[in-house]
Amino acid sequence: MPQAGNILLEIRNVTKDFPGTRALDNVSMEVREGEILGLCGENGAGKSTLMKILSGTYPYGTYEGEMVYQGEPLRLSGIRESEAKGVRIIHQELALVKQMSVAENIYLGAEPARFGIVNQMKLYSDTRALLDRVGLSVSETSLIGSLGVGQRQMVEIAKALRGHVRLLILDEPTSALNDAEVANLMSTLRDLRSRGVTCIYISHKLRELFDIADRITVIRDGRVIGTEKTADLTEDMVIAMMVGRAPTGRFPAKTRKPGPVMLKVRNWTIKDPENRELYAVRDVSFEVRSGEILGISGLMGSGRTELVQSLFGEYGVEVSGEMEIAGQRCTVKSSRDAIALGMGLVTEDRKTTGLITMHTVTSNIALPSLPRLSNGPVVNQSLELASTGQFIEELNIRVPAIDATVDTLSGGNQQKVSLAKWLMTNPRILMMDEPTRGIDVGTKYQIYEIMDRLAAAGMAIIMVSSELPEILGMSDRILVMHEGTVAAILERDEADAETIMSLATMGAEMGKMRSDENAARER
């Protein structure tokens, strides 16, 4: 086993330019053997660019500066060479083939074979060992397309652990994981560290960094601001390093005042389109007022995403129940119907279902509003540019050029584009599923300010979130889901993290029993 504390990787004066942008500016840092180094910074700070250099995505010669790995110059020609040296990266965007099995994905390009014939028994046994290592109980033969987002993330992690691993880079690895899966991942990383594997852990979730990292490095505007032992830092100190100023509060002061009921849902029930014997959502009733933010909390698989997608006409079969908007009964069979009724949906996965990343920022923002921007089949480009430009300015979306494609933007700016396209439709009801997933603390605050401003102007907002601080900090009321049903709807002043988790994990009856037991103890 390598000696812990020795330098495994040294980055010396690395600079990387893109047209009109300097992504990395004279970056120097070191990574020690057997440590977990936390890396954080705002979206667009340069973290992902640096990791792509380390993994060979940007080969030697496309940047200035040097890297030294295990005491020798590291001049990678591509990803395959970096993997051969024991450097593995898990990107935030999953790279799995949905039509292939778990085992086929994990060993894609590295199948155990002899004379061109794959040893199926070894393939499945080796896969099982990797799945057990990350605590994932799915079958080796399950198709990736049948798995949830969190399960796919764990498959990606298992894939990275295949073969010899010396340096493991994880880019926002828990963005789609539930609490149990996060715990499994943390346990796996600690086990890897004990075996001498070095990790670079990139995350916007500071609590995770403080839980797992030995040291934390902060990058801002392409430069390393500093590296300190985690024990010597506080969350506020890290935030100040990230944004260049001391934090003034995680959530904006509320300026909104709830008004009359805008959306009322009664006995909403839908079945899973892939298994019609299962209910994805069952007998859900709630209402949202204009000027209100209704938070929806619950564990992954509780039906949160399925609920908002079905209300938007984009999920479920055998849908039953009633919906009223501004007191009028209505029927939504597709997103076209929802948009016409004044609804918008910022989806959970912006890159898969929220945006067309290879298209321009302008065309993405304009997409739901094309009927009013067009004269027959021809889009009025002048009107499109003027209309979308207003939202680019209002939401402070940073674009390198007017014709820039979405895939050139940071995650935070992509999320703003996803929001802008729905704001341009002038919705009365805006549903936001994980609105700040994978976004840095500075951009999060900007999104929160936008949400508060929209609600103050009379919009009804439904916010699905896996982050309890976000639910508690932004919601006026909180709907907690458990196994497709409503466990409770809480007023903000009666909600706390323990109550919400009790309801989310055990449902209404058990959650109430636990609450009563706690109250009795306090007496």
- Per residue in 386-425, pLDDT (tens digit) is 888 888 888 888 888 778 898 888 878 888 999 999 999 9
Note whether 100 and 228 are same-domain residues: yes
**What is the distance between the alpha carbons of residues 448 and 284, in angstroms, rounded to a whole number?**
27
- Structural domain ending residue among the three candidates 243, 278, 303: 243
Q: Is the pLDDT of residue 1 over 60?
A: no
How many other CB atoms are found less than 10 A from the CB of residue 99? 10
Alpha carbon 272 to chain centroid, angstroms = 23
Give the DSSP per-residue string, 121-161. HHHHHHHHHHHHHTT--S-TTSBGGGS-HHHHHHHHHHHHT
Note whether 233 and 165 are same-domain residues: yes
Note whether 318 and 227 are same-domain residues: no
What token pair was written down for 51? 């990791």
Q: In total, how many domains does the chain have?
A: 3
**What is the distance between the alpha carbons of residues 257 and 281, in angstroms, rounded to a whole number?**
30
Determine the average pLDDT of the residues in 452-460. Answer: 95
E strands, 347-476, are 374-375, 378-379, 429-433, 460-464
Q: Hunting for tokens 């801002």 — which residue is that? A: 220
The domain of 367 spans 360-426
**What is the distance between the alpha carbons of residues 59 and 46, in angstroms, rounded to a whole number?**
16
Is the model more confident about 112 or about 471? 471
**What is the distance between the alpha carbons of residues 435 and 418, in angstroms, rounded to a whole number?**
10
- Structural domain ending residue among the three candidates 402, 426, 450: 426
CB distance 425 to 369 below 8 Å: yes
Note whether 211 and 78 are same-domain residues: yes
Q: What is the band of 320 on the pLDDT scale with cuts at 50, 70, 90?
A: very high
**What is the distance between the alpha carbons of residues 183 and 255, in angstroms, rounded to a whole number?**
37
**What is the distance between the alpha carbons of residues 137 and 261, in angstroms, rounded to a whole number?**
44
**Full-model pTM:** 0.65
The residue among 394, 413, 396, 409 whose CA lies nearest residue 454 is 394
Note whether 16 and 119 are same-domain residues: yes
Note whether 501 and 514 are same-domain residues: yes
